[in-house]
Amino acid sequence: DAGVIQSPRHEVTEMGQEVTLRCKPISGHDYLFWYRQTMMRGLELLIYFNNNVPIDDSGMPEDRFSAKMPNASFSTLKIQPSEPRDSAVYFCASSLWTGGTDTQYFGPGTRLTVL
């Protein structure tokens, strides 16, 4: 398997623009997670899905952030409008059957810079 695939790998945008990050989980995995990593706040869980259904979005910082999983092989994280403080590395991860006990496999991340 190719592993978790994220695109784009780098995104530079201006404040106020819409940003869409994409993720393809490992085939057959039931769980998908979106994380954000910054120097100041470390690794934060934003939202996770089980069988395409959002389970816990309590980590989403504000209404400007939204995530969808229209099918088992694709998820998006959208920021609208973007702000400089959204600059971070965003990771997608997937796991096979459970969210807490199975190994999570991480993608390479998307480095977002908002100017």
Partner 1 sequence: AQSVTQLGSHVSVSEGALVLLRCNYSSSVPPYLFWYVQYPNQGLQLLLKYTTGATLVKGINGFEAEFKKSETSFHLTKPSAHMSDAAEYFCASSGPDKLIFGTGTRLQVFP
Q: Report the Cα–Cα distance between both ends of the chain, in Å, rounded.
A: 36
The dihedral formed by the CA atoms of 33, 34, 38 and 42, expressed in degrees to the nearest 10: -20
Helix (H, G, I), strand (E, B) or coil at 85: helix
Smallest gap, in angstroms, from Cβ of residue 66 to partner 1? 19
Q: Which amino acid is at 45?
A: L
Smallest gap, in angstroms, from Cβ of residue 32 to partner 1? 11
Smallest gap, in angstroms, from Cβ of residue 50 to partner 1? 7
Applying CB under 8 A, among 5, 30, 56, 81 the residue interacting with partner 1 is 56
* Binding status of residue 96 toward partner 1 by CB under 8 A: no
Instruction: Give the binding site for partner 1 (CB under 8 A).
Output: 4, 31, 33, 42-43, 45, 48, 50, 55-56, 91, 93, 98-101, 103-109
